[in-house]
Amino acid sequence: MRDRGVAAMVVTPGADLRFLADYDAKALERLTALVIPANGSAVLIAPQLEEGEARESGFGHTGGRVVTWTETEDPFSIVATIVDESGPGALAVDDHMWAQRVLRLREVLPEREQVLAGPIISEIRQRKTSAEIEQLQHAASAIESVHARVPDLIKVGMTEAEAGRLIAEAIIEAGHVTVDFVIVASGPNGANPHHAVSDRVIESGDPIVVDIGGTMPSGYRSDCTRTYVVGEASEVFVMAYSALQSAQESAVGFVRPGRTCEAIDAHARDLMTTYLLEGVPLSQYFIHRIGHGIGLESHEEPYLVAGNTDPVEPGMAFSIEPGFYVPGRFGARIEDIVVCTPDGVRNLNLSSHDLVRIPA
């Protein structure tokens, strides 16, 4: 913060607050905020009616200063006083702070430049500790146990929405506290990478992209994609899928410290360029970045995409998920969560990448 000319940082409920203060506070109309001066001790500001929860947070439980405010007090004035005591400099606000809070802070601290806190906090959050990696491994194993059940859950004649409900139930049964997303993209819907579910009836011969994830009790997330086919897929699809599988596995093996985010993306893309799907390079149907960071959020830094020249470092956890999406026909994706290690890579998802067949 001092290096960036930041006098104080204000963090409201969300992943950053949970990471910094071990407090999973809900984002409600009453202000809860962690104020971190560049010089001095942090203060957790909370509504009086949530004092008990604030003091039982990791921050409060270990002696952090908790200041509460009553219904007739202005909590933003309390924040302003703490910030003013921290001396000259900018005010950093967390990246996901509500606009209403940002504007109120601007009102009570009109002379302070506002900057994003993300570049400061992400420097810490991107590099996971060994304990965080084990939480991510626990999440990865849990979601893989759901994928193991998918061939028994999806049936011909079932709608995507019906399959999605069964998969969501399995995600909770596997130990997640919330279901973050369920994608069941069958047949031509597979060509939409962020298709969720629909009333489309699953038919024999359909490829199905199943991308699922949830939040574990620890707050750490899972995210894993496997591609299935009901009965027998077309030869065109099977050959394209084989090329995708090779590119994904090669991209995982390519991860190591010092290689840039964009280089990992380009590695898979270049391999997919060499395969022609009916005369068109498969890479032309690969329309998104190869990966995103994961931790207390499903998507967080680093983002592995062209233009990101940042090198990956030991402790960084992210997805490797190339895919292809042919409009009106089909799609496929393979996604693993990996961790960069001092000498290479650790894959947290160990289930097969083969095209999984569901009985017709």
pLDDT digit string, tens, across residues 13-29: 999 999 999 999 999 99
Q: Where are the domains of the chain?
A: 6-125, 130-358
Q: What HEC string does the chain produce? A: CCCCCEEEEEECCCHHHHHHHCCCCCCCCCCCEEEEECCCCCEEEEEHHHHHHHHHCHHHHCCCEEEEECCCCCHHHHHHHHHHHCCCCEEEECCCCCHHHHHHHHHHCCCCCEEECHHHHHHHHCECCHHHHHHHHHHHHHHHHHHCCHHHHCCCCCEHHHHHHHHHHHHHHCCCCEEEEEEEEEHHHHHCCCCCCCCCECCCCCEEEEEEEEECCCCCECCEEEEEEECCCCHHHHHHHHHHHHHHHHHHHHCCCCCEHHHHHHHHHHHHHCCEECCEEHHHHCCCCCEEECCCCCCEEEEECCCCCCECCCCEEEEECCEEEECCCEEEECEEEEEEECCEEEECCCCCCCCEEECC
Both structure tokens of 75 = 């909590």
pLDDT of residue 148: 98
- How far apart (Å, rounded) are the C-alpha atoms in residues 219 and 314? 21
CATH class of this structure's domain 6-125: alpha beta
Q: Name, in order, each residue with C-beta under 8 angstroms of 81's C-beta and a sequence gap of 6 or more.
A: none
Q: What is the pLDDT of residue 217?
A: 97
Task: Enter the pTM of the model.
Answer: 0.95
pLDDT < 70 stretches in the chain: none
Domain 130-358 has CATH 3.90.230.10: yes
How far is CA 141 from each of CA 59, 69, 81, 317, rounded to the nearest angstrom? 30, 42, 47, 15
Residue 320's DSSP bridge partners are 336
Domains 6-125 and 130-358 share a fold: no
| Confidence at residue 138, expressed as pLDDT on a 0 to 100 scale | 98
